[in-house]
Amino acid sequence: MKMPQTFALISLAIAVTVAASAQTGNTKAAEALRKADREWMAAYASKDADKAASFVAADGAIYAPNAPAAQGDAAVKKMAADMFKLPDVKLSWTPTLVEAAKSGDLGFTSGTYEFSFKDPSGKTIDDKGKYVTVWKKQADGSWKVVRDIFNSDLPSQSAQ
Amino acid sequence: MTAEDEIRAADQAWLEAFSAGDLERSLQSCTDDCEVMPQNAPAAKGLEAIRSLFREWFRPGLEIRWTPDRVEASGELGYSSGTYAMSFEDSGKRVSHRGKYVAVWKKQADGSWKVVRDISNSDLPAVKAEQE
């Protein structure tokens, strides 16, 4: 009875692969998006505000919770620089869905993030939540962020 | 009608369903695998979880309005992004919020546009939002 089981597993694997590729639109562009997303996270990890802001399009915006939108390069840079001033700040995110349009010039990443820093008393503040980032291919072939928005999973008292 | 116009129309139709407090019609704008991501709560993944979330939101006296300030599409994928304002009754008090949102839309086999991801957050400081 091994054969039918193996066959069923292979069929299932094919079905899953077909479903996944049907869902992703342009897989090559999606892979480029994943790469840009990882590089963007590395810029945050290195606490380089200029580099982090360079991933955002000139008309892009970051929508952080409990603050007005940061629109344009100067506002995005300031937001990153302010964050990097937090003691022992750590930010990482994991995309759970990456999709690009068939055209290969618009896409999005979406997933979960983890964020922590030390408050003035030295206590570690942990936050976790979710995000959506919309990316657009630029004239030079690079992918840049047009909209980035996130919010916390935690009740507001414990998140801030 | 361009894809952008179609998304604007779908966004407006979704708002109308929301404003009417029409749960079933509001859910029709979401794909089966849609995720709605409210602030200070886990994501609602899939239609059943979204149904529970919307049921919680659609309280008597809810007033909600959102305005897309940017809509872009490329073929079968697009997004709307903008600002929202909402208010509702809480223990006899009127509570108001305003903020921003992004919705990612995907064209379906039948030609309709549906939401795959919807996320929003408040413009107000965390404490102020609680007290307003």
pTM, two decimals, is 0.89
Region at B123 (left for phi over 0; alpha for psi -120 to 50; beta for the rest): alpha
Q: How many domains does chain B have?
A: 1
Edge to edge, the sheet with strand B93-107 lists: B44-45, B30-37, B113-122, B93-107, B77-90, B63-74
Task: Look at residues B82, B85, B75, B87 and name the one whose alpha carbon lies nearest to residue B103.
Answer: B82
Q: What is the pLDDT of residue A156?
A: 82
For residue A131, the chain B residues in CB contact (below 8 A) are: 119
Share of chain A above pLDDT 70, in %: 82
Q: What is the pLDDT of residue A24?
A: 52
Contact A151 B37 (CB under 8 A): yes
B75 to chain A, closest Cα gap in Å: 7
CA-based torsion, B39, B44, B49, B50: positive or negative:
positive
Name the pLDDT band for A11 (thresholds 50, 70, 90).
low
For residue A103, the chain B residues in CB contact (below 8 A) are: 74-75
A8 to chain B, closest Cα gap in Å: 25
For residue A64, the chain B residues in CB contact (below 8 A) are: 121
Question: Within an 8 Å CB–CB cutoff, is residue B44 touching chain A?
Answer: no
Contact B100 A97 (CB under 8 A): no
For residue A102, the chain B residues in CB contact (below 8 A) are: 75-77
CATH of the domain at B66: 3.10.450.50
Choose among B72, B78, B117: nearest Cβ to A132: B117
Contact B121 A102 (CB under 8 A): no
Average pLDDT, chain A: 89
The CATH architecture that domain A27-159 belongs to is Roll (3.10)
Q: Are residues B115 and B101 in contact, defined by beta-carbon separation less than 8 angstroms?
A: no
Contact A151 B119 (CB under 8 A): yes
pLDDT digits (tens, 9 = 90+) for A57-72: 999 999 999 999 999 9
Name the pLDDT band for A160 (thresholds 50, 70, 90).
very low
Q: Between the CA of residue B33 and those of B36, B79, B92, B118, B132, what are the distances in Å?
A: 10, 17, 36, 12, 34
Its domain, for residue B47, covers 3-131
Choose among B38, B72, B123: nearest Cβ to A106: B72
Q: What is the pLDDT of residue A25?
A: 79
- What the block records as the tokens of A25 is 């639109």
For residue B79, the chain A residues in CB contact (below 8 A) are: 108, 134, 147
Contact A132 B37 (CB under 8 A): yes
User: Each residue's pLDDT tens digit in chain B (132 positions)?
Assistant: 899 999 999 999 999 999 999 999 999 999 999 999 999 999 999 999 999 999 999 988 899 999 999 999 999 999 999 999 999 888 889 989 999 999 999 999 999 999 999 999 999 998 644 444
Can you give the residue ranges of every domain in chain A? 27-159
CA distance A151 to A127: 10
Q: Are residues B78 and B93 in contact, defined by beta-carbon separation less than 8 angstroms?
A: no
